[in-house]
Structure 1
Amino acid sequence: MKPDKLTVFEVFSKEKRFVIPLFQRSYVWNEQDQWEPLWEDISSRAVAHLDRLEKDVEGEVRSHFLGAVVLNVTKTPGRGIARSDVIDGQQRLTTLQIFLSALRDLSEELHAEKSDRELFKRLTRNPDCDDDSDELFKVWPTNSDQADFAKVVLAGSANELSITYADYGDSPPRLAQAYLYFEKALRDFLTSEELEAQIGDRFLSIVKAIKDSLQLIVIELEPGDDPQIIFETLNARGQPLLPSDLIRNFVFMRITDKESNRLYGTYWHHFDTDRVDEPDEDGENRFWHIEERQGRLLRPRIDLFIFHYLVMQTESSIRIERLFKEFRDWRDSGSLSNEEFLADLKAASGHFRRLISPEGDSRLEVFARRLRSLDTSTVYPLLLFLASIEGRPGKSAEVDQAVQDVESFMIRRFMWNLTTKNYNKFFVSVLAKAKAAHREGRSVASAIRAELLRSQEWSAVWPDDEGFEEGWCWKKLYVRSRPDRAVMILSALENASRTNKNERVNIQSGLTVEHLLPQNGELDDYPYASDEDYEREEDESVEEGREDMMHTVGNLTLLTGPLNSSVSNGPWPKKTRAMVEDSDLRLNAWLRNDPPRVWHEGKIWERSEELFELAREIWPRPDPAGDV
C-alpha cells in the first residue's frame, strides 16, 4: 500500500472520479454521530484561520486529520477521466462532496469572490462534462444512492432541494438531510452577527482550511494487495460494517465487472432500494435496513435474514456475531455458481419478508403473525425451508400441516410456561430431519411431527391435552409488559369462533385486553366466590385465589380501546350490557343470551374450560401412534 497525506483540496482538485463499487453499502452517516463532529472539525480550522486574518498575523494553523481513505486505482479506457474505486472511506468522501456542494451553492447566493466560486465548482465537478454524464461527479456512489446524490449535488440551493423532496415531509433521503444540515451550518457561520469579519474573509477562512489544514490519509493499493482483506478490516467513522456489508462485498468482489451490474440489479438491488411508507424512529425507510427485534437480537432485517438463511443452509447453530465468517466458510465450500447462489438468496428473501411482514392469510403467514408475539426467532430457519417448498406440486397441504404442528408445539409449551432455552438446537434438529425427508422423497410433515413428538424431556416435550389444559386454566396470560401475547391468543380464539354462518368482519381498529373481573373493581360489584362455586387450594385465602385467576384466559376478552375505557371498572350488569350492545366479536357473543348474574373466580374457571375446548381444536396434538 502507498499512503499519502493530502488536503481536502488536493484530493478533489484533480480531474478524477472516486467510484463507490456497487456492492458497497448505502449512505448511512447521520447528524449526531458524523455530520456535527465533521462540521466542528471544519469550523474550528476555519475560525483559527479567520482569527489570523483579523489580526493580520502569520503562522501556520494546526492541521486536523479527517480520517483515511483506501483506493484501488483502476485502468481508464480511452480518454475517460481517471478513476479510483473506493475500498474504504466512501461515507467520508460522499459527505465532503455534499459539504462542498452546499458551500458552492452558498458562494453563488452570497456573492463570494469569483475566485472562491470557481474553486468550489472545481472541487465538485469534473470539467467539460455534460450535466447528464456520470463523469461530471467527483464522487459517484453505490447504485442505490446515485439518483439522490445527483439531485442533491445539482440542486443549486436548499430551497430547490426541499421542493424536490417535498413529498417526503420531514424525512427526505439521508443524502438530502446531509446537504440541508451543512447548508444551514455554513449559512450560520457565513452570516453570523457574532463574528466581526467580512463575509469575504469568512469564505477565505474556509478556503484556507480546505487547502491547508484539513487532511486525509489516502492509501492507494498496489499490485498484490488484496482489496477484500482491506475492506473486511476497516470501518467507516463511527459506523461499523454490518455483516451484510461484508457479505455483499465478499460476493460481488468475486464477480467480474462485466457481470456485477447485471447480477446486482437482478438479485441484490431490492435489498438496497425497497422502501416502506413510514420510516422508523431513526428516519430509515429502506425495508431491509430497518432494525427488527427478535428475542435478544436487534439487527437490521437484512442481517437477520442472512443469519436465518445460513442456519437453514448449514443445518447448524451459529452465532450472529460470527455471521460473516460462517458465511464465508460456507460459501467457500459450496458448489453453487454466483448466479445460482444469488437467485436462491433472492427467492429466500421473499419468503423471509412474508414471515416478518405477513400480509396474506396462508397458514404460514397466520403463524408468522402469532410468532411475533411469542418473540421466538429460532424457528425461522425451519419456516424458511417450509416456505421454500410450499409452492411445489402437492406440498401446500403438507406445509400447512407442518406449520400447524409447529405452532401447536410452541403455543402449548408457552401456555404451560415451559422453557425456550433449548429451542435453537432443537429446531435445527427438526430442520435437519425435514430437509432429509424432502431429499429422500418422504413426507416432510410426518418427519417434523415425529421429531416434535419424540422427546419427553421438559426442554422439548409437546404437552398433551392434560398438560395443555392445566397451563391454559392457570397461566397468568396477561402481563402488563407484554399484552400482545394475550391479544394473540384471544385473537386466535376469536377467528376460530367464526363459522360459515357468521359475516366475515375485517376489524380495522386495534383491540385491547379487557379483564371481565376488573383489576380495580369494587368488592360490592364483584364479591368473592363461595366455597361451593370455586374450590381453592389448601390454605389459599380468597384474596390469593382472586389474584391467581385475575390474569388467566378465562377472565380476559378483547374490546376496542374506547369501549374498554368506558366499561373497565364498572359493575358487572352494566359492563355486560355495554359489551352486548357495542361489541361485534364472537368472543363476546356468549353474553347476549342469559349472561351470568355475577362474575367471580368460579365463573372464570368455567369460562377457561369452555375456551380450552376451542383451543384444543386450534392447537391439536396428534396421537403419537397415529400419522399425519
Structure 2
Amino acid sequence: MDAQKATLLQLVDGNKQFRIPIYQRTYSWRQEQCSRLLDDVLAIAKAPPGPSHFIGSVVYVADGNFMAASVNSLLVIDGQQRLTTLSLMLLALRKRASDGVDVGASPKKIGNLYLFNGNEEEESDDYIKLQLTRSDKDTYRKLCLDHPLGDGDNNRVQKNYLFFLSAFESGRADPAEAFVGIQRLQLVYIALELGKDNPQLIFESMNSTGLDLAQADLIRNFVLMGLPHGLQERIYNKHWFPMESRFGQQYKERFDGFMRTYLTVLTGSIPREDEVYAAFKKYVNSLSPSVKGEPLLMERVAADLDRKSAHYAAIAFGKEQDAELHQSFHDIATLRADVAHPFLLELYGDWKIGLLKREDLLSLTKLVESYVFRRFLCGMPTNSMNKTFAGISKRIDKTRYFRSAQAEFLKLATYRKFPSGAETAQMLEGKDVYNTPRCAYMLERLENHFHPKEPVKAAGYTIEHVMPQRLSDEWRACLGENADEVHSRLLHTLGNLTLTGYNSELSYRPFQEKLEMREGGFLSSPLALNRRIREQKEWGKEQIQARGTELAAVVLKVWPEPDPSTLAEFAEPKQAEAELYDLDHYPPFAGAIRGLYLKLEERLLALHPAARRECKKLYVAFKFDTNFVDVIPLQSKLVLVYNMAFDQADDPKGWCRDITNISSWGNGDVEMSLSDERQIDYAVGLAEQSLALQMQE
C-alpha cells in the first residue's frame, strides 16, 4: 500500500485512466453536495496563499504492471463521487472557456491537464481519464466530446454538470476563481497493489459506520471487489445486473429484504436489518475450506443469489406467471405476511427442482395464508411467526413433502399453534371484524369463494353495516327492548357486514327500504354475500347471528386447516418414559423455602401466557421456547440462573453474579440468590429481561 498527499493535478497527471468498477453504485451526489463543494473551491481560491484545502481520499488498485501499458488503468475503490463531481466542474469551466470567458486557462489546457489523455485518439476508450460505469459512462463521454445528450442521459451526471454551468453563467460563481480553487485542492491517494493488499478490508474500514453505503452496496462490493476485471464483468452482467433489474427502482430496500430471507433459509437464523451484510460475510466465510478454495466461489454465490432472487421476486413482487400461484402470493402479500417469505422461498425452490409438485406448492401457500389469517382472527401474537417460518421447513420429510408439511403445522403448540376450526369459529362469534385492517380482504375472499372464476375486488365496493352504525327509531323498534345491547355487541361482527356499491344510498334506512330500494337494494344485489340478507323479512339479533354462523363455516373452507390424519402419520417415535418429577421431589421444599418459591412461581408464569414450568432432576425450569430462568432450591434460599449473557443483564443493584464458564445446574451466565419476599420483584424483572431476549431472537 502506498499513501501520499497530492493535488488533483498531481493525481491525474500522466497517461492514466481512473475506472469505476461496474459493481460500484452509480454517481449519486445531489445539488446540495455539489453546491457545498463549489463553495469550498471558491473559499480556498479567495484565501491567502498557504496550506491547500483537503477534500478527502481516493483509493485505487494498481495491477502491478503500472508502467507496462500506454495508459495505466486504475480501479477506483473509494472516492468516485468526488472525482466525478470535480470532473463535471472542470467540464463546465472548459465550456465557459470555449465560449470566450476568461477562466484562467484555455479549453485545450483544461482538457489536457485534467480530463483527457492527449496522446490517445478521441475515439479510443483510453482517451478520457475518468471512465464511469453503466449509463453514467455514456452521458459523461458525450459531455467530454461535446456530443448532444438524449433522453437516456437524464441522470445525476447531466444534472450536476448543468448545475455547475449555470452557476458560472449566472454569476453565482466566478469561473476564474473556481479554477484557482481547484488547483489548490489537496487529497490523499492510496494505491493498492493487486495480490498484496486486500481492497475489501480497506474499503470496509473507510465505510465502517455503514452510513454512506446501503447493505446492498456492501454485499455487491464484497462479492465483486477482489476479482479480476474480466470475472467481475462476467458475474455482474450475467447475474448481478439481472438481479438489480428485477428489483426495480426500489432495489436497495427490496434487496435487503431478500437477503434477510435468503440468509434465513440458508442458516436458520434471522439477521437484523442493519446486519445483513455482516451475516452474509459470515455465511460466505463459513463455507467449507474445499468450497472456499475454489477460484470461482463468488461466481457460484452470485449465481445462487440470482436464481433465488428470481424466486423471491415471484413471491414478493407479483412476478409469478402461473395465475393461481400469483393470486395466492398476492393474498399472502395482502396480509402483509412477509415473515412467511423464508418458508415460501424454500418451497418455491424445491418446486423448481422437482422436489415439490405444483399442486402441493399451491396448497401449501394457501395453508400459509390460513395459518396467518386464523391466528389474526383469534388474536394470537404475531411476534413468534418469524421464528416459526424460519425453522419449520427443517423438520419436513421432503420424501413425503406435502403431508409432512401439514403435520409440522399441526405439531406447532402453545403460542405458535395452528388455530382449530372450532377455536376460529368461536372467536368469530363476537369479534369486531370491521375495525381491523383485514376486513375488506376477508369479505372479498368470502365473496369470491362462491364464484372463483368471476372474482370481484373489494376496492370497488364499500363495507356496509346492514344494521347501521347509528340507530333510528325504526331500527330500535325492529331490534326490540334490548336494542342498545344488540347494537353494541353485534354491530361490527361478520354477520352484520357485507359489500355494496351503494353505501351512501343505503345509509341509515330501515331494513325493508334497504331490501327494496330500486337502485342498490339488497334484493337487486348480485353479490353472493347478500344472498341470506335477501331472504330475510327483518334484521335483528337472530338473523345476524345465523348469518355469522353461516359465514364462519365458509371462513373455515376458504382458510382451511391441515389434514388431521397427517399428525398420526408423522408422530414422533415413542421414547422411553422419562422419570417424572414434581415439587415434592426436591427435599428443600419440605421446609419454609417452599412458600417463597410458590410466590415466585406465580409471578414467573404470569409473565407470558405461553410460559410453563418443568420440574427437572436438579432444578425447576421456566420455559418459553426454551428455559428463560431455572430455580435451584436450597434449604435457606433459591438460586436463580437466568438464560442470558452477563453483559445483557440490567442489574442496577448488583445482585447478580457472573457464572460464565462456571459449572452450574441451570442454563445461562447470570445467577442471583433469593431468600426474601422483598427480592421477588427484582428477581422477576431479571426473568422478564431473559424472556424478552428469547422472544426477540
- TM-score bracket, normalised by the shorter chain, equals 0.7 to 0.9
2:487 equivalent to 1:546 = yes
2:348 equivalent to 1:387 = yes
**Partner residue of 2:133 out of 99, 119, 142:** 142
TM-score (normalised: structure 2): 0.70
Change over 3 Å in CA distance of 1:25–1:48 after alignment to 2: closer
State the AA in 2 paired with 1:452: F
2:72 equivalent to 1:72 = no
Which stretch has the larger CA shift, 329-338 or 81-90? 329-338
Once residues 559 and 204 of structure 2 are traced to their aligned partners in structure 1, the CA distance between those partners, rounded to angstroms, is: 47
Asked if structure 2 preserves the Cα contact closer than 8 Å seen for 1:68 and 1:89, the reply is: yes
For 1:122-521, list aligned pairs within 5 A.
122=112, 123-143=114-134, 145-151=136-142, 154=145, 160-161=148-149, 163-165=150-152, 176-192=155-171, 202-212=174-184, 214-222=185-193, 224-235=196-207, 239-274=211-246, 276=248, 285=249, 287-289=250-252, 300-334=253-287, 337-359=297-319, 360=321, 362-393=323-354, 395-434=357-396, 437-438=397-398, 442-457=399-414, 459-479=415-435, 483=437, 485-498=438-451, 504=454, 510-511=459-460, 513-517=462-466, 521=470
**Partner residue of 1:101 out of 68, 74, 91:** 91
2:549 equivalent to 1:609 = yes
Return the offset for 1:70.
1.4
Change over 3 Å in CA distance of 1:600–1:140 after alignment to 2: farther
Q: Deviations over 1:373-409 (max 9, x none)?
A: 3323221111001111223446212222222222211
Change over 3 Å in CA distance of 1:456–1:40 after alignment to 2: closer
Change over 3 Å in CA distance of 1:79–1:362 after alignment to 2: same
Aligned to 1:281: none
Q: Deviations over 1:482-509 (max 9, x none)?
A: 74x2232222223212056xxx3676x9
Q: Deviations over 1:170-213 (max 9, x none)?
A: xx75xx23532452354245423xx7xxx9xx21101011111x
Provide the secondary structure at the position in 2 that maps to 1:245.
helix
Aligned to 1:121: 111
Once residues 198 and 324 of structure 2 are traced to their aligned partners in structure 1, the CA distance between those partners, rounded to angstroms, is: 48
Of the two, which has the highest radius of gyration? 2
Return the offset for 1:250.
2.1
Provide the secondary structure at the position in 2 that maps to 1:18.
strand
Provide the secondary structure at the position in 2 that maps to 1:316.
coil
Once residues 3 and 474 of structure 2 are traced to their aligned partners in structure 1, the CA distance between those partners, rounded to angstroms, is: 82
Aligned to 1:39: 35
Return the offset for 1:418.
0.4
Change over 3 Å in CA distance of 1:409–1:255 after alignment to 2: same
Q: Which runs of 5+ in 1 are unaligned?
A: 53-58, 166-171, 277-284, 290-299, 533-540
Once residues 148 and 95 of structure 1 are traced to their aligned partners in structure 2, the CA distance between those partners, rounded to angstroms, is: 14
State the AA in 1 paired with 2:391: S
Give the % identical residues: 26
Q: Deviations over 1:443-492 (max 9, x none)?
A: 222222111111330x211111111112333333334xx74x22322222
Coordinate RMSD, CA, aligned: 3.6
State the AA in 2 paired with 1:68: S
Once residues 69 and 226 of structure 1 are traced to their aligned partners in structure 2, the CA distance between those partners, rounded to angstroms, is: 16
Provide the secondary structure at the position in 2 that maps to 1:369.
helix
Return the offset for 1:114.
8.1
Once residues 311 and 274 of structure 1 are traced to their aligned partners in structure 2, the CA distance between those partners, rounded to angstroms, is: 21
Return the offset for 1:67.
2.3
2:534 equivalent to 1:594 = yes
TM-score (normalised: structure 1): 0.77
Once residues 236 and 101 of structure 1 are traced to their aligned partners in structure 2, the CA distance between those partners, rounded to angstroms, is: 33
State the AA in 2 paired with 1:46: L
Aligned to 1:535: none
Change over 3 Å in CA distance of 1:99–1:555 after alignment to 2: farther
Change over 3 Å in CA distance of 1:236–1:187 after alignment to 2: farther
Q: Which runs of 5+ in 2 are unaligned?
A: 292-296, 570-697
State the AA in 1 paired with 2:258: F
Which stretch has the larger CA shift, 10-19 or 341-350? 10-19
Aligned to 2:658: none
Q: Deviations over 1:414-452 (max 9, x none)?
A: 111101111122222212123xx23xxx22222221111
Asked if structure 1 preserves the Cα contact closer than 8 Å seen for 2:5 and 2:189, the reply is: yes
State the AA in 2 paired with 1:579: G
Provide the secondary structure at the position in 1 that maps to 2:338.
coil
Aligned to 2:472: 523
Asked if structure 2 preserves the Cα contact closer than 8 Å seen for 1:66 and 1:216, the reply is: yes
For 1:611-626, list aligned pairs within 5 A.
611-626=551-566
Provide the secondary structure at the position in 1 that maps to 2:18.
strand
Change over 3 Å in CA distance of 1:565–1:530 after alignment to 2: closer
For 1:564-575, list aligned pairs within 5 A.
564=503
- Report the count of equivalent residues: 554
State the AA in 2 paired with 1:11: L
Asked if structure 1 preserves the Cα contact closer than 8 Å seen for 2:22 and 2:133, the reply is: yes
State the AA in 1 paired with 2:443: L
Once residues 489 and 475 of structure 2 are traced to their aligned partners in structure 1, the CA distance between those partners, rounded to angstroms, is: 16
State the AA in 2 paired with 1:288: Y
Return the offset for 1:573.
5.6
Asked if structure 1 preserves the Cα contact closer than 8 Å seen for 2:27 and 2:157, the reply is: no
Which stretch has the larger CA shift, 563-572 or 398-407? 563-572
Aligned to 2:649: none
State the AA in 1 paired with 2:339: T
Which stretch has the larger CA shift, 401-410 or 214-223? 214-223
State the AA in 2 paired with 1:413: R
Asked if structure 2 preserves the Cα contact closer than 8 Å seen for 1:402 and 1:445, the reply is: yes
Asked if structure 1 preserves the Cα contact closer than 8 Å seen for 2:18 and 2:75, the reply is: yes
Change over 3 Å in CA distance of 1:558–1:215 after alignment to 2: farther
Once residues 60 and 559 of structure 1 are traced to their aligned partners in structure 2, the CA distance between those partners, rounded to angstroms, is: 78
